Each structure stands twice: as structure tokens, then as C-alpha cells.
Structure 1
């Protein structure tokens, strides 16, 4: 008998296939917001007219723009953005960019609500030992226009990096989930190919670890399996023709579906857990961590969940094949890195990575039980 609990998050709407600028106006009207604080990709703002177009459409409803969020969302940048939003008296945050910007805005919501004004002050809102501290709920909400496809827009969790300790820490609250997400494939046309495709593998990782979890249930399976099949079809089509907006839309919707397992309470596994450490301690881009780790984690886990892994191969159009090999071939076919060596992580670091990974939320929830750093090291050696 299935057991579980599906919590529907605080997102009101997902809008897909409409131009972003017009969709933002519609959302502002719906939320009765008049003072939008834009948190945007600096590259997108400097090298394209996409942000200027949104700014023109919003007119005086755009009160300030922050475009200096580095990768992995450092605390310092979160505080800088919070101070700017506070000074502008913003009543809504609109993000246009990748996962680091989306996560940054989630943290800014909590900084504004809880009067956090210093880098050390973020200690007051970060989740410690798995549980967020008591805090005031955000009143300035967020709408999100993602330009990558990692899927963080659909969660109430954000990762913020403590630069002093080189650890990515979690901040969360049910209301930091964006009130609306706007999926406009045209907004992803300027995203570098490696970034779009690698974050697509991050979404594949959400699907795969969701399908392969011991706790999987029919509701999460329905989304993860459909999401995986859309990503498996869409990503190679984007690689083949970067201007194929239908393929990009399939990837965006596949990513939305990929978050179904996570948001309905299904834990991720060792690929996500080890990925956190590779990102925070070694600067490996978010999507690359999944490219490098996922097939090896699948290989290591197979003795515990071979039947679930068979569903992965089938959803990717390769029924009867070994899922770790299907994923390996798929990731290589997109031209993504497939080894720790390729992302400049050396064997000398494996012991430290393995120890740190044990403290992530996901390694202890991996479908094949991981008892200590030795098992994590075995997975790292498969990925070397």
C-alpha cells in the first residue's frame, strides 16, 4: 500500500508560451503590485536587449534593478540586493535569470521580512539541522522568469553560500516559493548552450532520483516520468537547433514536471547530495555536478532499485537497457563533461568531499543505504 503526503506549495500560477514582459504586467496586475524590484542576469542585461525590453514595458512600475548575483548565491550579494530592494520600497521581486538569481530573491524575501541587514545576520534565517528557525513570513513576494532549466523556481528552498566556510546553506519558508513562474522559451535563447543543456541534466537528475527513490508514489511518478521523457526528447533537439522554440518549451515544461517529485515530498539521493558539495566547495556549476555524478550514482545504486531504474531507461526511450549507460550516453551526446577530472576535481579531494556529503540532506536518504564516507568515496571513484 502506498503511503505519503503531497503538499501543494504557495505558487498560484505557471504561465507558459506567453512573452515574458506582457506576462509580468499581467501578474503585477493580479497581485496589485506597483513597485517591481528586478533581479536579473548581468550578462543578459549587458549583452542583450531582453532586460531593457522588460524595463520599457514596466515603465515606472520598475523601481530598481540588481544585476550582480554571482554563481552559487553568496551571502554578500543577497545582502546587497536586500538593501537595494529595501531602499526602493519594492512591493514585488521579479527575477529574470538562472538558479542563483532565483535563489537569491528567495533569500532577499526573508531578509526584508526579518530585518536581516548584515552577512552574519543571515544566520538568523538559515535552516540548521534540517529545520528552518522561527521567522516572519515574507510580505514582498517573487515572480520568476527562468532562463535556465534547473527547476529551482518551483521549490520553497534556496541555497545561499557562506563564503567564509565555503558551505551552501539552506534557507526556506513556504512563501518564498515564487507566486508565479513565467516560462518563455525566447528568454532562454541567450543562455549559453553549456548552461542550458547542463541545467537540463539537473532537471533530468530531479526526475531520475525522484523515480528511483524508495518513497516514490504514483503522483510523483506521473510527473517525473513524463518530465523525463520530455527532457530526453527536447534537449537533443535544442542541441541540434538552438532556435527551436518548441524544443526549448518542451525542456521548460519537462523541468517544471521534474520538480513534482521533490515538491511532493520525495527525497533526492546521492547525486544531489554530492553535487551540493562539488558546487559549494569546488565551484563546479550546478548542472555539471549532475552530468558528472548521476550515472555513477545509478550504477552504485542498481542493486537496491533495479526495477525503478528500468522505468528510467524506458522513459528515455531505451526500454530494457541499463539506465546508468543510457544516461552516460545521453549526457555525452549533449557534449557535457562526464568525469570529476573534466570539472577539475582531483582524487586528493575525495575524502573531504565524502565527509562533507554525509552532512547534506540527501546522501542519508539515498535509496541504497550509505553508512559513511567510504561509500561516498566509492561513488566518487566511479565518477573519477
Structure 2
């Protein structure tokens, strides 16, 4: 039987890359006839750099407010606070400038504005598969990290009551436009830029290695992986190398093609959700720690696909897990659960929660229950 599958295209309308962020955003806002632009931005960038003020000046009187208090992992309470401020400002466009938590927060704010959500409990009403109103206030994103959530119609929001990261989905919460400007990433701490780059590597690798991979996703992910494999070490060696930073940004963009087009991620992403929500491990670090061990555990199920990964990273014929391990170590990133103070006494809880994520049940080597997740965690201990 011939290979069969499905590719889904997102409602992202355009990506502008290699251009100054502020003037590009201002032009996009004019083109979309936005009159009241609400900013959701990194607090650090707002306090310690001129990037946000430059964006405000470019937007002029059309900028009607700024929210800069989104913590890591996008807690529900901060989403509600941002939505209330955007609602009060009468926003007709949201512009984000910051990392993945800010980006995800704005995607959730779109749902709040469209569905009258005004408190943390009411967010339950817009979680899939509940029917919801389509967002009317859309988003333009300027990312400062490489986690690449700006290319996805999924928002990850943490419920502080349960410390569980929940997914909110709607095809229209993907930003209308993304602006990739390497200059704005120069303020991002190097550890954060590099570790979220490994998050993008994780998107590529789990997309390629999925049992549900597609030729379309593979083509993008393999090229994205090659760009990241070359670009990340260049940024570490010379943080002022804007060409290398742009290569990484484009690699992160391409890394999302499998996920956005319908290819599921695997156990690295699933376990990572739990490590982030429960133990506050940064997103990028979860991939640094888990991806090589997941690859090692999965090899009996997908050795042929793992060979493609090693080749794309410039190490044809070598073990993909070893290539990834050495690459991550070379960037100076954490490699073991012990490095982030997660001990074996937590493995049972992590494994149990990971089984409830969207991705662990679709891992390429079947995971029947928590015991198999604990085997992977032991490899990463």
C-alpha cells in the first residue's frame, strides 16, 4: 500500500525575516488597519533595553497599552490579568515581543477576549474540545527565543492549582504574522537562546522520528535541523554573529512544520511538559535533558529515521543519541535530571503525569504505562 497521510496548513499569513522589528511591525499594523495596538512584552526588555520603547515609537498613537508581567510557563492568573488590561484598552491587535511564555500568553488572551473569559476558572470553558468563539483580536509576534511557539495554533498555559500545563487550541490563535529579527535576540541570555535552540532541535527530531511523519514535515525539519546544528555553535562562539542568529531563527521556524502540519511529538515533549509545570525546569532545558535518552529508548522502533537525524547534523553513520548528547554538552547545557535537582524519588509522579500529556501516548515506540516512562527517566538520571 502506498504511503498515505495528511498535511494541515495553519492560518499564519506571513513571516518577515532579517528586517528591523519595530518598523516591520508598524507596517504590518498599518496594513491590517489596526487602530489600537496592545503590547505583551518581556518585562526585562521593557525595563532594561530600549527595544519596547522603539516599538512604541514606531506605532505612535496606535499603541494603547503594555503588559510586561508574564511569568515563565504562562500561569492562568497572568493570562487573565493581561486579558483584562487588553479589554480595558479596547485592543484590536496584540503584538508580542518576548519569549515563548509571552507568545503563549497572548494566544490565550485572544480566546479570553473572544469568549468573555474574566477569571481563572472560566478558562476551562475554552479548553478543547469545547466549542469557542473565534478570536477577533489577532496577534503579531516578534520572538526573542527559539522555542517557536509563535508558529503554532496551540497555547500552553499552566493551571497553578494543579501545576499542570494545559493546551488551549484554536486554528485562529496562531499569529497572523511573525517577524524574525536577529537583532532583538541579542538581549536574550545566551543560556536561554541556546537551550531554546535545543527545544527547536527537539521539534525537528521528534517530527522526523514520529510514526506519523510526512514528507512535507521531514523536508522542513531536516533542513531546520541542519541550520540549527551549524548556527547554535556559531552563536555560542560569537554572540554578536547576527547571521548565525538568523540561521537559528529560520531553523526554529522550519522545526515547527511537522507539529503544525499534524505530526505528533513524542516522549521528550511529553515528559518535558511535566518537568516544566511541576518542577519549573525551563522549556529548553527539558529538551536538553530528555531528548538523547528518549532517542536511545526509541531506537529499536525507528533506527532508520534516527540515521536521518545524525546525517542532518553532519554525523552520518553515528548513533543519533550520541550525536545529540555531544552537541548539547558542547553548548554547555544541562544533560541530566540531577543537573536540575530532579531525583529518582520524583520519577513515579513524573511518569504518571506524563501519560496524560498528548504526546507520550503517541511516542514512536509504544509506551503502555508509567513503567516505560520511568525507564526513560532512569536513562536521563
Q: What is the TM-score with the length of structure 1 in the denominator?
A: 0.98
Note if contact 1:2-1:217 (Cα within 8 Å) is conserved in structure 2: no
Q: Does 1:88 align with 2:89?
A: yes
Q: Does 1:47 align with 2:44?
A: no
Note if contact 2:192-2:284 (Cα within 8 Å) is conserved in structure 1: yes
Q: Over residues 183-241 of structure 1, what are the superposed CA-to-partner deviations in whole Å (9 max), with x where a residue is unaligned?
A: 00001000000100000000000000011111112111100000000000000000000
Q: Does 1:272 align with 2:288?
A: no
Q: Does 1:254 align with 2:255?
A: no
Note if contact 2:7-2:214 (Cα within 8 Å) is conserved in structure 1: no
Question: What's the counterpart of residue 142 of structure 1?
Answer: 139
* Cα drift, residue 172 of structure 1: 1.1
Equivalent of 1:355, from 352, 356, 371? 352
* Cα drift, residue 258 of structure 1: 0.1
Q: Secondary structure of the residue that 1:186 maps to in structure 2?
A: helix
Equivalent of 2:291, from 283, 290, 294? 294
Q: Secondary structure of the residue that 1:199 maps to in structure 2?
A: helix
Q: What is the TM-score with the length of structure 2 in the denominator?
A: 0.99
Paired with 2:222 and 2:43, the residues of 1 have a C-alpha distance of 35
Equivalent of 2:372, from 348, 363, 375? 375
Alignment length (residue pairs): 380
Question: What's the counterpart of residue 228 of structure 1?
Answer: 225
Paired with 1:3 and 1:110, the residues of 2 have a C-alpha distance of 34
* Cα drift, residue 372 of structure 1: 0.4
Equivalent of 1:202, from 199, 202, 208? 199
Q: Secondary structure of the residue that 2:310 maps to in structure 1?
A: helix
Q: Secondary structure of the residue that 1:171 maps to in structure 2?
A: strand
Paired with 2:67 and 2:212, the residues of 1 have a C-alpha distance of 40
Question: What's the counterpart of residue 240 of structure 2?
Answer: 243
Paired with 2:169 and 2:375, the residues of 1 have a C-alpha distance of 32
Paired with 2:124 and 2:44, the residues of 1 have a C-alpha distance of 30
Matching of residues 1-384 of structure 1 within 5 Å: 1-127=2-128, 132-384=129-381
Note if contact 1:223-1:260 (Cα within 8 Å) is conserved in structure 2: yes
Q: Over residues 295-351 of structure 1, what are the superposed CA-to-partner deviations in whole Å (9 max), with x where a residue is unaligned?
A: 000000000000000000000000000000000000000000000000111110000
Higher mean alpha-carbon deviation, 4-13 vs 305-314, is at: 4-13
Paired with 1:344 and 1:34, the residues of 2 have a C-alpha distance of 48
Note if contact 2:76-2:159 (Cα within 8 Å) is conserved in structure 1: yes
Q: Over residues 147-198 of structure 1, what are the superposed CA-to-partner deviations in whole Å (9 max), with x where a residue is unaligned?
A: 0001100000001100001001111110000000000000100000010000
Paired with 2:350 and 2:239, the residues of 1 have a C-alpha distance of 35
Note if contact 1:355-1:373 (Cα within 8 Å) is conserved in structure 2: yes
Paired with 2:39 and 2:220, the residues of 1 have a C-alpha distance of 31
RMSD in angstroms over aligned alpha carbons? 0.6
Paired with 1:137 and 1:241, the residues of 2 have a C-alpha distance of 44
Q: Over residues 330-377 of structure 1, what are the superposed CA-to-partner deviations in whole Å (9 max), with x where a residue is unaligned?
A: 000000000000011111000000000000000000000000000000
Q: Secondary structure of the residue that 1:189 maps to in structure 2?
A: helix
Note if contact 2:38-2:93 (Cα within 8 Å) is conserved in structure 1: yes
Paired with 2:122 and 2:277, the residues of 1 have a C-alpha distance of 20
* Cα drift, residue 57 of structure 1: 1.3
Note if contact 1:146-1:182 (Cα within 8 Å) is conserved in structure 2: yes
